[in-house]
Amino acid sequence: MSSDLQDRVVLVTGGGSGIGRGIARVLADHGAVVVVTDLKLDGARAVVAEIDSGGRRSMALHHDVTSWSSCHDVARRACERFGRIDVLVNNAGVSKSVPFHLLDEAEWDRVNDVNAKGVFMMTHAVVEPMMERRSGKIVNISSMVGRDAIPLFVHYCASKFAVVGMTQALAKELAPYNINVNAVCPGVLRTPLWEPLLDQLSATKHITREEAFAEFVAGIPLGRPQDPEDIGEAVAFLASDRARQVTGVSFHVSGGQVMN
């Protein structure tokens, strides 16, 4: 494995499972020092144990991305431990399939508070030191439905479109400080985030959960789902100096399902 992120300090939100776990592990393999934050501290600690067993340095922190104080606290503690944050990966996210006419304010707020407001607050917590150093990378995890919306996920699509908009605006605003801001848009992955959705779809359509997942996979031109490490490799590229001229992009990792 390359060491193009050697000793870069990277903070990954929602890193205790799913895509976040894959991102954290890949970045560690590329040489990064990884701060894994998660609402479920046990999950973050388990990922850190995996990273540490490979001889890399890491740290687990409890983190609620919907809390201003929690976002600033994890940034402060990471800097106290490692001196700085070179790369922020805004990965934490939630989802649920809800017909629009049944979507209420509480569910709208739940999803948008994590997926969109959480990106704003965590980025706010780390950006000033990056500006002062005139160096930094921010990678936001959006979704293929943040560029090409689907029904029954209006609030989720709205939150992920917001991430793409924030990415583009921040890329322009922070470019004079030599800070690159990009988004990665995953496609179909069998992660814990998908399991409740598969339960819903199997019950609604009277099919098995495996059949429900197969319906999603059938729409992928390459014919196979992605895995968390696929997303991690895209993040590793955008976090590295190899992508020094790349900013404001939405980097699709969806097997060709979305191509714009």
Q: Any idea which residues carry the catalytic annotation?
A: 156
Contact by Cβ (8 Å): 118, 66: yes
Alpha-carbon span 239 to 241, nearest angstrom: 7
Contact (CB, 8 A) for 45 and 60: yes
What is the DSSP code string of the chain? ---TTTT-EEEEETTTSHHHHHHHHHHHHTT-EEEEEESSHHHHHHHHHHHHHTT--EEEEE--TT-HHHHHHHHHHHHHHHS---EEEE---------GGG--HHHHHHHHIIIIIHHHHHHHHHHHHHHHHT-EEEEEE--GGGTS--TT-HHHHHHHHHHHHHHHHHHHHHGGGTEEEEEEEE--B-STTTHHHHHHHHHHHT--HHHHHHHHHTT-TTSS-B-HHHHHHHHHHHHSGGGTT--S-EEEESTTS---
